[in-house]
Chains A and B, each alone.
Chain A
Amino acid sequence: MSATLEAPPVLDETALRCAGMQKFLGEGAARIQALRGVDLELMPGEIHAVVGPSGCGKSSLLYILGLLDRPDAGTLWVQGGEVSTWTDEELSHRRNASLGFIFQFHFLLQDFTAAENIMIPMRRLGGWSERDMRERAVSLLEAVGLGDKANRSSRALSGGEQQRVAIARALANDPAVILADEPTGNLDSANSERVFDLMRRLTHTERKALLLVTHNPAIANSCDVVHTMRDGLIVNEQRRG
């Protein structure tokens, strides 16, 4: 269970790519098509925003790109590797090694401290000593401005602090791609701006590919590429200089 797999091979500079992505949700009469053929490409160092009304398929796309769900049709490549034939074990390993998730409701493990939360994905990846894991967790916490709260229980952190810990956790295994589902949706405007600035800085300096789903127009307009979704399709893609 703790066996460490080889680092996933990087077959392509493209961090993440999907083509003709389709997804159905529900059963019988309640069955709807959440994605109707989505094409998307994320390159390292780019920040992509996906915007659109509720129910347009943003989160479904995010979960498929994050290997948490399987598409009904279409092809997905992660760092050049085509994922359709991967086993659950391989998908899990890729999630652990190459992908970082940030959710709207931070989802920290409440029984652990801030630093321990960041060490959880590192433990799974293996190959780290306890000391190395702790040092990296503290340095990531320092990067998000919480270096002095490493030993604080996640319960004792404010909402903004918890979300920053979640960002640090998403970066724990130095992933190529960060997927964020409304990461600032639960924060006030000051914290929201602070968190986004942090994500933008890390993406550019660390050459990560960041895809975030957001309802916040200000955040969307600060991204390199904005994809507008409607009824399961990307209807508009806007690149900013």
Chain B
Amino acid sequence: MLPALHIALRFTVSRKRSLALSLAGVVFGVAFFILTQAQTQGFERYFIQTILGTSGSIIISDRYQSRYTSFGENLEGAEDSKSLFQARKPDANRGSASQAKRKYYEGITNAAEIMRVARQFSNVLACAPVVHGNASIRSNFTAEIANLQGIELDMQLAATALRQQVIGGSLEDFRINPSGVILGSLLADKLQLGVGDTVQLTGADPRPRTFTVSAVFRSGNNIIDERRAYVDLRVAQALLKKPALVTQIIVALRDPDRAPALSAHFERLFGHRARAWQERERGNLQIFSTLRLSAGITVSLIILLAGFLIFNTLTMAVMEKVREIAILRSMGYRRGDISLVFLGQGFVVAALGSLGGAACGALFTYLVSLIPVKVTGFFYTERFVVSWNWAHYAAAAVIAFVAVLGASWLPARRAAHLAPVDTLRGSGQ
């Protein structure tokens, strides 16, 4: 061990009271940082799980066709007449001028072919075709406008979390009964319907059709749960008068974080609009990011406060140890050694504080995860959702070390620059 660190350790241990105070500040700062990050990221991840479970990582929808560039727009720089009538290539950068000029055509007519190609990508886990549109849904009690989605059950189960979302009824009934319908839980409540009840659906085709409620699902997202109703794909195509048309393909990925790059590639490859979940939910995700940042900054202040405590403690220590500093210098200890003696004390506090804080943070996080709390709206949960992420612990430790070593630096520098002879002259004569 470095000789200066050996002395630092002993000095630290000998000042138990001030050490305990400084240490407590770092421990609680680190622990609360970890706890807040675990909570905010926990809810954020749960929200992401919910949206991936209902709408997949990528949604491929309308076909687009770039408009031909007008003659006047391309006069400048045109080298030959051919380029003037050449369609612009689709631009992956959304919001660009070329994208604004795109013309979209509803739906996908070659869904099977697109899904076949998409499945060739190693990151693609599953694809599911969907046709959707509005339909009137009527029970004996009341009528509502539903977002009707026609699905291929097995494909839908592979690409979404529908199986986990079912809270009543049976998916097998839906599979064998072409007149089966799966209702969102809030929609079923509004219509006062239960599993086995009958309901009438009217789409673009004015003739109502009678369906039996096969199952009820709860995604946790109120917007979905109060409007969505699933029926068989071909039945929905007939009801909505969209024969042989699929309005979107849900793509589930093994690594959803890579969705933006793949969606841009799909868009170029298929000539259809492809939106990654990060783009679809940008607004909500920004709220979570802002909350995490806000909580992180607030809790970091506790660690900074602990840094001030360290600063005070070490400044006092330098004043108290001025004689020891002089004697160490007389014994051949360099300025750097003296600096290290005090930085070492800061290091010990930061290291112990980070370790203790990490342990407390993990304990607090576990205890909070046991707290029953019912959340609906964005997602559904009956307890606090927390995220166990080593990065939170690493970030908290980095903040603690920066704050504590930063606070130790000035006293350490002051100690290193004390003239030993002034102290010795004052004490020795």
| Residues of A in contact with B (beta carbons under 8 Å apart) | 1-2, 54, 59, 63, 66, 68-69, 88-89, 92-97, 99, 101, 103-105, 107, 109-112, 120-121, 123-126, 169, 173, 181-182
Contact = CB atoms under 8 A, between A and B. Distances in A.
Contact of B10 (A88, A112, A126, A182): A112
B331 A96 contact: yes
A59 B329 contact: no
A120 B7 contact: yes
A145 to B, nearest CB: 22
A96 B427 CA distance: 21
Interface stretch (B74-82, B173-181, B320-328): B320-328
B119 to A, nearest CB: 61
B428 A182 contact: yes
**Which label, helix, strand, loop or mixed, suits the secondary structure of the B interface?**
helix
A182 to B, nearest CB: 7
A16 to B, nearest CB: 16
A181 B429 CA distance: 9
Given A1-B340, A111-B10, A68 B429 contact: no
Contact of A125 (B11, B324, B332, B335): B332
Given A1-B2, A2-B4, A107-B327, 4 more contacts: A1-B337, A59-B425, A68-B421, A88-B334
A160 B104 CA distance: 98
- Most chain A CB atoms below 10 A, which of B4, B335, B428: B428
B391 to A, nearest CB: 32
B6 interface: yes
A70 to B, nearest CB: 10
Interface of B: 2-4, 6-7, 10-11, 13-14, 323-324, 326-337, 340, 420-421, 424-425, 427-429
Given A59-B425, A109-B324, A95 B3 contact: no
A63 B424 contact: yes
Given A59-B429, A105-B428, A123-B3, A111 B11 contact: yes
A125 B334 CA distance: 11
Nearest to B12: A111
Contacts of B332: 92-97, 99, 121, 124-125, 173
26 contacts: A1-B3, A1-B336, A1-B337, A2-B2, A2-B4, A59-B428, A63-B424, A66-B330, A68-B330, A68-B421, A68-B424, A69-B421, A88-B335, A95-B329, A96-B331, A103-B424, A104-B429, A105-B428, A107-B326, A111-B11, A121-B332, A123-B3, A124-B332, A169-B331, A173-B332, A181-B424
A211 to B, nearest CB: 14
Contacts of A105: 427-428
Nearest to A107: B327
Nearest to B327: A107
B261 to A, nearest CB: 48
A104 B6 CA distance: 26
B330 to A, nearest CB: 5
A1 B330 contact: no
Contact of A92 (B2, B10, B11, B334): B334
Contact of B428 (A88, A97, A103, A120): A103
Nearest to B425: A59
- Most chain A CB atoms below 10 A, which of B326, B333, B336: B333
Contact of A120 (B14, B328, B334): B328
A124 B429 contact: no
Contact of A111 (B14, B323, B340, B424): B14
Q: When A and B form their complex, which 5 residue pairs have the shortest distance between CB atoms, in order from nearest? A: A96-B332, A123-B3, A111-B14, A95-B332, A107-B327
A120 B2 CA distance: 11
Contact of B327 (A63, A97, A109, A124): A109
B361 to A, nearest CB: 32
Contacts of A92: 329, 332-334
Nearest to B332: A96
A2 B421 contact: no
A211 B33 CA distance: 59
A2 B7 CA distance: 13
Contacts of A63: 421, 424-425
A229 B276 CA distance: 90
B334 A89 contact: yes
A154 B44 CA distance: 58
A124 B337 contact: yes
Nearest to B328: A120
Nearest to A181: B428
B420 to A, nearest CB: 5
A81 B330 CA distance: 19
A92 B333 CA distance: 6
Nearest to B334: A92
A25 to B, nearest CB: 9
Nearest to A112: B10
Nearest to A54: B429
A124 B337 CA distance: 9
A183 to B, nearest CB: 11
A68 B334 contact: no
A33 B336 CA distance: 32
A66 B14 CA distance: 30
A124 B429 CA distance: 28
B421 A1 contact: no
A109 B340 CA distance: 17
Given A95-B330, A96-B331, A109-B327, A120 B420 contact: no
B323 A107 contact: yes
A204 B212 CA distance: 112
Nearest to B10: A111
A160 to B, nearest CB: 18
A193 B337 CA distance: 36
B331 A2 contact: no
A104 B428 contact: yes
Contacts of B327: 101, 103, 107, 109
A2 B334 contact: no
Contacts of B335: 88
